[in-house]
Amino acid sequence: MDEQIGKFEIKASAQLNRLPVQFFSTLVSRVNKFTAEGYDVINLGQGNPDLPTPSHIVHSLKEAAENPLNHKYPPFSGRRELKEAICQWYKNEHGVSLDPEEEVAILAGAKTGLVELSAVLLDPGDSALVPDPGYPDYWSGIALSGAEMVTMPLLRENSYFPDFEKITAEQLKRTKLMFLNYPSNPTGVCAPASLFDEAIRFAEKNHIVIAHDFAYGAIGFDGKKPVSFLTRPGAKEVGVEFYTLSKTYNMAGWRIGFALGNKNVIRLINKLQDHYYVSLFGAVQDAAVTALMHSQNCVRELVGIYESRRNSFYYEMGKIGWHAPPSEGTFFAWLPVPPGYTSSQFANLLLEKVQVVVAPGIGFGKHGEGYVRAGLLTNEERLREAVHRIQSLSLF
């Protein structure tokens, strides 16, 4: 990572050199190469919502951008109005009561907070528990902190839930933090309340902070509402939940999310962010209030679209002999690779032969091997076309 400029050598810090390769940026580079060469690429490899932000939210941003108040620095930790809207939304949606001043941290996207959390809790030599397979950016904050990862295998035979009893006493000695994520990226599984209850007991016993990534919390299928970690007794005593507007309202590019829960953790996140940011553009905060406080019909319609896509995609897969349990939530499908291929080999084959992009499971951890993740982020016609292209390879 070092750069040579003339005779002056610029060296990256040890902290920066600890960072893992950014999985998704590497995937994007390969896809862009095929697109630039004129191929008709069906990209199911990323988690980037394909539908626009609802128009009433966009209109709110336009109006707010003209307000001179929003041309000034906003409060460091975010607008009181937004924090109150977040608390009201959580009360409406999940029955959770929150203190807007002490239990809410505004984030430039949930990803930012997930990385920051390691910075405020971990020192070199500490450990963090991470799901495997899981969202790769959990690894980034741990690496920057000089801490170590202890993986929690998510196996199909255990319904893609961690087995806390298999975490050894030796591993627990230095463990300060545990990441959970349901509905799960990449497996598409939702967690029952009992899993969170077990995690809370485990965290209390071992003095571990829980970070629950609830990015896909609005997207549950078959009439089932995903469970918020914060609804469980004792949750705020041991942890925080991260939420984002990216998936719920198709606001991925707006970069707005929040952390909720334990007062001490929230205080530490806000302290760090006081040095990094002066909060978010005020107009974006105003538009976020609109998203949270106005009709949620747009969210219900969006979930209906994803469920219809899921049903269509799995139906087409079944016709070609490619079988997997349907996703319970998120907009992802977690699919086994055919015999004789690694996840990377299979993903490369699909890209090179039929220009269908999926994310190889190995990119989400060692126990992601043998699977690929497909994002249901194009219309049903294109999803059917993707399956038909794959069928032409006669792999199933």
pLDDT of residue 6: 61
Residues 6+ apart with CB under 8 A from 117: 141, 177, 211, 240, 259, 265, 269
List beta partners, residue 129.
150, 178
Chain-centroid distance, C-alpha 131: 12
What rounded mean pLDDT belongs to the chain?
Answer: 95
pLDDT band at 12 (very low <50, low <70, confident <90, very high): very high
List beta partners, residue 8.
5
Sign of the torsion angle spanned by Cα atoms 11, 16, 20, 26: negative
For the chain, the C-alpha Rg in angstroms (whole number) is 21
CB 369 within 8 A of CB 342: yes
pLDDT band at 4 (very low <50, low <70, confident <90, very high): low
Q: Using alpha carbons, list the distances in angstroms from residue 167 to 153, 212, 348.
A: 10, 18, 34
Does the pLDDT value for residue 150 go beyond 90? Answer: yes
Q: Using alpha carbons, list the distances in angstroms from residue 151 to 25, 113, 264, 336, 353.
A: 23, 20, 26, 21, 34
Residues 6+ apart with CB under 8 A from 82: 106, 285, 286, 288, 289
Catalogue all structural domains in the chain, each as residue range(s) with its CATH number. Answer: 20-49+298-391 (3.90.1150.10), 55-293 (3.40.640.10)
Q: pLDDT for 251-291, tens place per residue?
A: 999 999 999 999 999 999 999 999 999 999 999 999 999 99
CB 185 within 8 A of CB 47: yes
Angstrom distance (rounded) from CA 342 to CA 316:
23
Cβ burial of 45 (10 Å; 0-12, 13-18, 19+) is buried
Per-residue H/E/C for 324-340: CCCCCECCEEEEECCCC
pLDDT band at 247 (very low <50, low <70, confident <90, very high): very high
Four-point Cα dihedral 291, 296, 298, 302, nearest 10: 110
Cβ burial of 194 (10 Å; 0-12, 13-18, 19+) is exposed
Does the pLDDT value for residue 1 go beyond 60? Answer: no
Give the SS3 label for residue 267.
helix
The predicted model scores a pTM of 0.95
DSSP state of 37: T
Sign of the torsion angle spanned by Cα atoms 132, 136, 140, 143: positive
pLDDT band at 31 (very low <50, low <70, confident <90, very high): confident
Angstrom distance (rounded) from CA 277 to CA 297:
33
Name the helix (H) or strand (E) containing 356.
Answer: strand 356-357
Angstrom distance (rounded) from CA 57 to CA 73:
22
Task: Extract the runs of DSSP E, i.e. beta strands, from 87-154.
Answer: 104-107, 127-132, 148-153
